[in-house]
């Protein structure tokens, strides 16, 4: 088969996947931050939690495949005076700027795939520009120190240049990080906000973890990347909000035969990918079995456009398994728990 024919087949497969993501009907959405789309100017619009409650901002809902509407994994949890960032994916700093929050208390990592860590360097640079005088607190499972050290090494020349340019006005301390490698259990607690790490199953990635946030009787769980696992159900019991990754396996399987003919290597990688993530229908079962009050989907596979039609297609069948509200994440979306 000619390369031109292969390209044409791949294009048709991609087009078919896009068409399959356009079923009509509406889905629940929440307000977006102004300037949240990457193609728009960032307008700082400070996000604060409701008094005594928690706000969750879905900063990045995408995957490694580029989508101009979606940064990769980053979720901001706001409670009291604290702002905790779960993962620092590609363009996380752009999304964070839209929240008006330059006071992140803590970064926690679920695992170290590139789409969960890529934005750390720019976050550190912007802390130095802002004049932060303390290292950024970072907690993650084993491997966190190697990841942060790698970013610091990559930005070492940058730091030297900035000191030469700006002298004492540049904060090298702000561009540094204080790293703690932790195991499952309570990993951080301040002013009534408790952060608990728990193991998930993202094999062959190990360790991989999720987090539960408890504050003033309210609770949020962020799954990280995982296949369906009992630990997520146990840690999510009675939670006000579960933020869980999701794969629309139905749409992908419809497109796979054409992709296998056109790009067998890419098709094989797609099949591999589905084996260590959670399908949308499985996420609905998790939410049902855990009795969570609201469900938000992130890390959406395939990486769909942020439209009501595409989102309705993504969640088809979920309402038959879980009766609570289902939010299909868009970058900049804010979920409040009063």
In this predicted model, what pLDDT tens digit does every residue of 270-285 receive, in sequence order? 888 878 999 999 999 9
Residue 135 main-chain phi, psi, to 5 deg: -60, 150
5-26 pLDDT per residue, tens: 544 444 444 444 444 433 322 2
Which tokens sit at 317? 């069948």
Question: Which CATH number does the domain 3-337 belong to among 3.60.15.10, 3.30.2270.10, 3.40.50.150, 3.40.440.10?
Answer: 3.60.15.10
What 3-state DSSP class applies to 197? strand
pLDDT recorded at residue 259: 87
42-62 pLDDT per residue, tens: 456 899 999 999 999 999 999
Q: Percent of the chain scored above 90 by pLDDT?
A: 80
User: Which of 41-47's residues contact partners 24+ apart within 8 Å by CB, and which partners?
Assistant: 42/94, 42/97, 42/98, 43/98, 44/97, 44/98, 44/99, 44/100, 45/98, 45/99, 45/100, 46/99, 46/100, 46/101, 47/76, 47/78, 47/99, 47/100, 47/101, 47/334
146-201 pLDDT per residue, tens: 999 999 999 999 999 999 999 999 999 999 999 999 999 999 999 999 999 999 99
Catalytic hit among 87, 115, 225, 240: 115
Please spell the DSSP secondary structure of 158-175, one letter per residue. HHHHHHHHHGGGS-TTTT
First to last CA, the chain: 59
Higher pLDDT, 27 or 90: 90
291-303 pLDDT per residue, tens: 999 999 999 999 9
93-112 pLDDT per residue, tens: 999 999 999 899 999 999 99
pLDDT recorded at residue 24: 26
What is the average pLDDT score of the chain?
89
How many of the other CB atoms lie within 10 Å of CB of 163? 15
CA distance 79 to 57: 12
What's the pTM? 0.88
Biggest CA pair distance of the chain: 64
CA distance 112 to 235: 22
Which tokens sit at 63? 């995957």
- Which ranges of 211-263 does DSSP label H, i.e. alpha helix? 230-236, 249-262
- Where along the chain do its domains lie? 3-337
Is the pLDDT at 312 greater than 90, yes or no? yes
Instruction: Assess contact for 335 and 30: CB atoms under 8 A.
Output: yes
214 an active-site residue?
no
pLDDT recorded at residue 234: 98
Higher pLDDT, 255 or 247: 247
Instruction: Assess contact for 122 and 71: CB atoms under 8 A.
Output: no
Q: In which order are the strands placed within the sheet that holds 295-301?
A: 185-190, 193-199, 209-215, 218-222, 241-247, 295-301, 326-328
Is the pLDDT at 29 greater than 70, yes or no? no
Is the pLDDT at 1 greater than 90, yes or no? no
pLDDT recorded at residue 13: 45
pLDDT recorded at residue 33: 56
Is the pLDDT at 84 greater than 70, yes or no? yes
- Which ranges of the chain does DSSP label H, i.e. alpha helix? 3-20, 92-98, 114-117, 120-130, 144-154, 156-166, 230-236, 249-262, 264-274, 280-290, 308-314
CA distance 135 to 178: 6
Please spell the DSSP secondary structure of 97-125, one letter per residue. HHTT-----EEE-S---HHHHTTHHHHHH
Instruction: Assess contact for 300 and 70: CB atoms under 8 A.
Output: yes
Residue 103 main-chain phi, psi, to 5 deg: -120, 40
């Amino acid at each position: 088969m000619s390369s031109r024919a292969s390209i044409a087949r791949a294009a048709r497969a991609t087009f078919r996947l896009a068409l399959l993501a356009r079923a009509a009907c509406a889905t629940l959405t929440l307000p977006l931050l102004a300037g949240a789309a990457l193609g728009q100017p960032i307008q700082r619009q400070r996000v604060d939690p409701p008094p005594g409650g928690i706000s969750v901002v879905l900063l990045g809902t995408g995957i490694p495949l580029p989508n101009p509407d979606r940064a990769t994994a980053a979720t901001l949890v706001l409670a009291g005076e604290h702002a905790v960032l779960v993962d620092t994916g590609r363009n996380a700093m752009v999304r964070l700027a839209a929240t008006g929050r330059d006071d992140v208390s803590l970064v926690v990592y679920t695992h170290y795939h590139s789409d969960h860590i890529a934005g750390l360097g720019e976050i550190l640079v912007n802390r130095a520009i802002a004049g932060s005088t303390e290292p950024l607190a970072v907690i993650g499972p084993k491997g966190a120190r190697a990841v942060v050290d790698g970013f610091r090494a990559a930005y070492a020349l940058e730091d030297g240049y900035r000191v030469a340019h700006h002298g004492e006005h540049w904060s090298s301390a702000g561009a540094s990080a204080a790293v703690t490698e932790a195991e499952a259990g309570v990993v951080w607690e301040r002013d009534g906000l408790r952060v608990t790490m728990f193991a998930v199953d993202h094999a062959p990635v190990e360790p991989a973890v999720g987090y539960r946030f408890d504050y003033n009787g309210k609770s949020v769980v962020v799954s990280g990347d995982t296949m369906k696992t009992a630990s997520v159900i146990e840690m999510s019991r009675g939670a006000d909000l579960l933020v869980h990754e999701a794969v629309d396996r139905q749409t992908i399987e419809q497109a796979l035969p054409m992709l296998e003919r056109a790009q067998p290597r890419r098709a094989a990688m797609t099949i591999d990918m589905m084996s260590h993530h959670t399908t949308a229908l499985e996420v609905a079962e998790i939410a049902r079995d855990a009795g969570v009050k609201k469900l938000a989907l992130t890390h959406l596979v395939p990486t769909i456009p942020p439209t009501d039609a595409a989102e309705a297609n993504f969640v088809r069948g979920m309402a038959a398994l879980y009766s609570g509200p289902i939010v299909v994440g868009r970058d900049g979306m804010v979920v409040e728990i009063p």
